[in-house]
Amino acid sequence: MRAALEVCKDLDVALLTKVYPSRSHSGAAQGGIAASLGNSEDDSWEEHMFDTIKGGDYLSDQDAVEEYVKAAPNVIYELEHMGCIFSRTPDGKIAQRSFGGHSRPRACFSADRTGHAILHALHEQVMKHSRSIKVYSEWFMHSLVIEDQQCRGVVVSDVRTGAVEVIQAKAVVFATGGYGRAFQITTNAFASTADGVLAAFNSGIPLEDAEFVQFHPSGLYRQGILFSEAARGEGGYLLNGLGERFMEKYAPERMELAPRDIVARAEQSEIDAGRGVNGEDFIHLDLRHLGEARIMERLPQIRQLGIDFISVDCAKDPLPIQPTAHYSMGGIPTDKFGAVVVDAKGTRLNGFFAAGECACVSVHGANRLGTNSLLDAVVFGQRAGRSALEYAKNVASPSVNESREKTRVLSVFEDIFQREGSESYNDIRNEMKNIMTHNCGVFRDAEHLTQCIEKIQSLQVRYKKGKVTDKGRLFNTELYEIIELGNMLKMAEIISFAALARKESRGGHFRSDFPKRNDVDFLHHSLVYPTEGDGLELKTKPVVITRHQPAERTY
Amino acid sequence: MATFRIKRYNPEKQPEPYYEDFDLDIPKGATLLDCINLIKWTKDGSLSYRMSCRSAICGSCGMKANGHALLACQRQADSLLDKDGTVTIEPLGNMKPIKDLVVDFKPFWDKVNKVQPYLQTSAEAPVGKERTQSPEQFRLIDDTSTCIMCGNCYSDCNTLEVDDNFLGPAALAKAQRFVCDSRDEKTLERVTELSKPGGIWDCTHCAECVERCPKPAQPFHRIKEIMTVALEEGVHNNNGARHALSFTRSVKASGRLNENQLPVESMGYFNIKGLLELVPVGLRMLLKGKIPPIFHKSIDDVKDVKRIYKELNQ
Ligand SMILES: Cc1cc2nc3c(=O)[nH]c(=O)nc-3n(C[C@H](O)[C@H](O)[C@H](O)COP(=O)(O)OP(=O)(O)OC[C@H]3O[C@@H](n4cnc5c(N)ncnc54)[C@H](O)[C@@H]3O)c2cc1C
Ligand code: SF4
Ligand code: SF4
Ligand code: FES
C-alpha cells in the first residue's frame, strides 16, 4: 500500500491482495516501528545503523542500512501526517520506547498494536485515492509475466469466482510478506505462504539468504501465536519441566532478558534434552509471582490471549510456550531502490520491484531486530513505489499474449481438479511443518538437513497424488490452500538447501555441527537459483561493508 | 464428542442453504476456528470460510455461533456448546452469503467509504516533524482505532436488519475516529453529514454492536460520542421526536433479542420507565448465564448491572 500511494501520484495502480488490504499480517505487529527521532532520549541514525548491523551479525549490506535508517524519521512523520495514530509524549510528540537489540528507546508505537495502526492508516489513504488506486481484494496472484527480460504483469484469479485474468502492467511491485507457514509453530498468518517469493523463483529469479529464519522464544504452545517480550520484560520466569529457571545455565546475567535467538535456543535445548514440561515440547512462562493485580495492570492483553486462545489464565497457571518461526530475513533480492536484481552484480530485472518481508535488500542480515521490519516495509515500500513510478513513466504499455499466460494457470487448476489421489493434503501439510520445525528449526545440522530435504522432496511427490474434494469455482478455498501448500513445499526445500550449505552459525541460523561464525568462508549472501528439472543451485553474493567491520556479536 | 451444526450454502450446486452436522472431538484448548479447520481438513474440504491471522487481529473469521456474531479464532470451542454438546454455526448476518460462511462485504466497505475515512486537514503538514497531539487527545481515538473491520457489529445490528440505508456501526465507529481526532479539521462538515438520515440518529441504541465487538472499538459508545460532538457543534435539527422513537424501538428490540443492559447507561436521561423495563432483562440474562463468556466483558457487564441497579434503588 505504501508503494501504491507513491505510484498513484502520477499513474493508475491496481492493488491486489488475496485477503483484504486491512487484513494483511502487518496488522499483527505489536511492538513498534524504529526511527531515531530522539523524542525520549538523544538518538542518531548512526547508532540505529550500528545496532541494525550488529543485530544482523554483520551480514547486512551497510550501504542499504545507511539509507534505510536515514530515511526512517521522515517515513514516520509521513505516516503521522497521513493520520496514523501514535502514542504520545506529554508534550504531544510521538512517544518512543526501548526494544530488544536497540541501544536507545527508538520504537514508535501505537499502544500494543503498531502494525495495525500503520496498516489501517495506509488503507485509509488508499481509500482516499480510490480514483487512481483500484483495489482487488481476494484476488490471488499466481505468476509473473516476463517477456524479453522485462516484467509485463501478473496472472491472477478471483477467489470468489475462480476466473483467471492477466493484469498487464508497466511495472509490478511485490509486497507479499513472509513465509513462516512452512513451520509447524509460527507467529505468521495462514496467508503467509511464500506465493510471492515462489512466483519470482519460478521465473528464474534467485532467492537470497533463505536460510535465515528468526525464531521467537515466546510462541503460545501449539498455536505459535506471539506473546510479546513484555511478559519477560515484566519479570516472567522461564521454567523447564523440572521447575528450574533454566536461563541460569545459558545467560546467567541477563537470564530471561537475553536476546531472542539465545533464549529460543536455550528453550529448545531444554526441550531436546527431555526437560520440556511432562517431557513434551514446551516449557513454562510463569507470571504467577507477579500477582493478579500487576498482571492486570501491565499485561492485560497477554492474559486475555492465554484465556481466549488456549484457555490458560496466567494469573493462576503458567503459560505453555515454545520457540516459534517469526520472521523471514531472506527473500527476493533487491537493490536499495527496491528494484529486483537477479545476480551478484546487481543486474536488474526491468519492471519488477519488491519490498517488505518478501524482499531481501538486505538490511536485516542474519537476524532482524524487533521494530525494524515495519520500518523496512514502509521505507522500501515507498522506494519501490517511487522506482516503479519512474520506470513506468518511460516505458511503453505491454501487449502480452494473455491467453497463453492464462492457459498456464488454468492448467494448474485443471491438474489439481483432476487429482484422484488418496493422499490427504492435511497430512502432507502437517508433515512438512513437522519436518521443518524438527530438522530445520532453531538447531540444524548436516544430518538432519539432509534428511529434511529428502523428506520434503518425497512430500512433493505425494503432493501430486492428493485427494481433492472441492472442484467448484465459487470461493474454493481448498484449491488455494493446495496451491499455497505447493509453494511452501518448494520454499521448505529452498530454506533447508541454503541452510545445509551454510556451514557456520550466524544470527538466526544455528548449526550444531558448526557452532561458530566463520567470516573467512561465509561472510556472503546466498542466492538459490532454480535449475532445469526442478533442481536448485547455490551461488553467493558479497556483503557490502562500509562503516563497520565484522566484530563479535556479544550482548 | 461435540456436534458442529454448520449452515451450508453453495449456489453452484443447490440454491437453498441447509444445515450439516459434523461430529468432532474438540482437542484441549482448541478455538472454534481450530475446530472448523479440522472439519475442513479432515472431513469436508469444500467447506468455505475466511481466516488468516488466527489471533483476533485481521478480522477475517467473523461468523455466527448460536445466533451471535463472534471471531472464530478468539473463542474456545467448548465454551460454545449447548447442553446437548452442539454449536450452530452460520454466516454473518445483514450481508449476502456467497458460499457457506463467506458473505459479501461490499456494502460494508461501501459504507465505510462513505464516511470519508481518512484524515482531512487544510493546513500543510509541518516539515520534518510530527503534528502534535496530547496523550489525552490520543485517548479520544484510542478505542475506536482498535477496530479490525470484522463486520461482527454490522452482522448483528438491529437497525440494519430493517434499514439498508443505515451506515451501520463499523462505519460510524470509523467516523468517530476522525470526528474526534484533534488533527482533523473537518469536524463540523463530518457531524453535519453524519446527522443526515442513515447516520447517527438512526441508531436504535440497542447496543448489540457493543456486545459483539471483539475489540474496545464498541461502536455504540462511539456513536454517542459523535452525537455529543454534533450537539456541541450545534447540529441538532433532527433529534427530538426521532430520538424518542428510536428509543422505543430499541427497548422492543432489546426485549425480543434478550439483550443486556448496556443501552441503559445511555438512555438513563431519556426514559426512566424504559430503564426499569430493561433492568430485569439484564438480570434474567445473568441468572441464566447468558452473558457471553468473554472474561473481561462479563466483568464489565456485572459491574454495570450492579451499578445501574444501585442507581435505580436510590
Ligand atoms: C505477530 C507478529 C508481530 C510482529 N511485530 C513486529 C513489530 O512489533 N515491529 C516490526 O517492525 N515488525 C514486527 N513483525 C514483523 C512485521 O510485521 C512484518 O515483517 C511486516 O509487517 C511484513 O509486511 P509486508 O507488507 O511485507 O507483508 P504482509 O503485511 O504480510 O502483507 C502481505 C500481503 O501480500 C498479500 N499476498 C501474499 N501472497 C499473495 C498472493 N499469492 N496473491 C495475492 N496477494 C498475496 C497478502 O494478502 C497481504 O495482503 C511482526 C510479525 C508478526 C507475525
Ligand atoms: S446500538 Fe445502534 S449501531 Fe449498534 S447495533 Fe444497535 S442500532 Fe446498530
Ligand atoms: S467495531 Fe468492532 S465489531 Fe465492528 S467491525 Fe470494528 S472490530 Fe468488528
Ligand atoms: S483469523 Fe484473523 S481475526 Fe480470526
- By the 8 A CB rule, do B248 and B267 touch? no
Quick check: CB of A366 below 6 Å from ligand 1?
Answer: no
Distance CA(B27)–CA(B36), nearest Å, equals: 12
A-chain CB neighbours of B216 within 8 Å are: none
| Closest by Cβ to B118, choosing from A125, A160, A468 | A125
Whole-number pLDDT of residue A432: 97
pTM of the model: 0.91
Q: What separation in angstroms does the CA of A488 have from each of A184, A206, A416, A433, B32?
A: 12, 16, 16, 9, 25
Distance CA(A382)–CA(A342), nearest Å, equals: 21
Q: What average pLDDT does the structure give for chain B? A: 83
Bridge partners of A526, per DSSP, are A540
| CA of A33 relative to ligand 1 center, distance in Å | 13
Residue with cell 433492568: B279
End-to-end alpha carbon distance in chain B: 49
Q: Find, in chain B, the residue whose alpha carbon is nearest to that of A127.
A: B113
Give me the interface pTM, i.e. the ipTM: 0.94
Distance CA(B266)–CA(B254), nearest Å, equals: 14
Is the CB of B15 inside 8 Å of chain A's CB atoms?
no
| Closest by Cβ to A474, choosing from B10, B116, B118 | B10
Report which ligand 4 atom has the smallest distance to the Cα of A190.
1
B-chain CB neighbours of A305 within 8 Å are: 55
Ligand 2 atom 5: the closest Cα is on which residue? B157
Quick check: CB of A144 below 6 Å from ligand 1?
Answer: no
Average pLDDT rounded to a whole number, residues B190-195: 96
From A104, A135, A129, A189, select the one nearest A20 (Cα to Cα): A135
Strands A107-108 and A96-97: antiparallel
Record: contact B13-A424, CB cut-off 8 A: no
- The letter for the amino acid at A286 is D
Bridge partners of B165, per DSSP, are none
Residue A475, min C-alpha distance to chain B (Å): 7
pLDDT surpassing 70 at residue B274: no
Distance CA(A432)–CA(A425), nearest Å, equals: 10
When scoring B46, B71, B111 by the number of chain A Cβ atoms within 10 A, the one with the most, hence best to mutate, is B46
Residue B164, min C-alpha distance to chain A (Å): 22
Record: contact A25-B135, CB cut-off 8 A: no
Per-residue pLDDT band for B267 (boundaries 50, 70, 90) equals very low
Residues 6+ away with beta carbon under 8 Å from B298: B291, B292
What residues of A are labeled active site? Answer: 260
| Closest by Cβ to A308, choosing from B74, B100, B134 | B74
Record: contact A476-B48, CB cut-off 8 A: yes
**Which residues of chain A have a pLDDT value below 70?**
none
B125-163 pLDDT tens trace? 999 999 999 999 999 999 999 999 999 999 999 999 999
| Closest by Cβ to B54, choosing from A74, A190, A472 | A190
Residue B76, min C-alpha distance to chain A (Å): 6
Quick check: CB of B148 below 6 Å from ligand 3?
Answer: yes
Bridge partners of A17, per DSSP, are A137
Record: contact A27-B119, CB cut-off 8 A: no
The residue whose CB lies within 8 Å of the most ligand 3 atoms, and thus the one to mutate among B147, B172, B212, B218, is B147
Is the CB of B288 inside 8 Å of chain A's CB atoms?
no
DSSP A184: S
Task: Determine which helix (DSSP H) or strand (DSSP E) holds B242, and give its type and residue range.
Answer: helix B241-257
Record: contact B133-A468, CB cut-off 8 A: no
Record: contact A81-B125, CB cut-off 8 A: yes
| CA of B149 relative to ligand 3 center, distance in Å | 5
Q: Is the peptide bond before A362 cis (omega within 30 degrees of 0)?
A: yes
Is the CB of A279 inside 8 Å of chain B's CB atoms?
no
Q: Which contacts (CB < 8 Å, 24+ apart) does range A77-80 have?
A: A77/B125, A77/B128, A77/B129, A77/B130, A78/A382, A79/A118, A79/A121, A79/A122, A79/A378, A80/B130, A80/B131
| Closest by Cβ to B119, choosing from A27, A82, A478 | A82
Whole-number pLDDT of residue B15: 94
Is the CB of A223 inside 8 Å of chain B's CB atoms?
yes
Query: Phi-psi region for residue A133, left (φ > 0), alpha (ψ -120 to 50) or beta?
Result: beta
Whole-number pLDDT of residue A261: 85
Distance CA(A43)–CA(A29), nearest Å, equals: 23
Distance CA(A159)–CA(A16), nearest Å, equals: 12
B52-70 pLDDT tens trace? 999 999 999 999 999 999 9
Q: Exposed, middle or buried, B192 (CB in 10 Å: 0-12/13-18/19+)?
A: middle
A-contacting residues of B 188-227, CB under 8 Å?
none
From A45, A37, A35, A129, select the one nearest A82 (Cα to Cα): A129
pLDDT surpassing 90 at residue B284: no
What cell numbers appear for A369 in the block? 531486530
pLDDT surpassing 50 at residue B271: no
B-chain CB neighbours of A90 within 8 Å are: 134-135
Record: contact A470-B59, CB cut-off 8 A: no
Minimum mean pLDDT among A167-181, A319-333, B202-216, B280-294: which range?
A: B280-294
Report which ligand 4 atom has the smallest distance to the Cα of B71.
4
Whole-number pLDDT of residue B238: 64
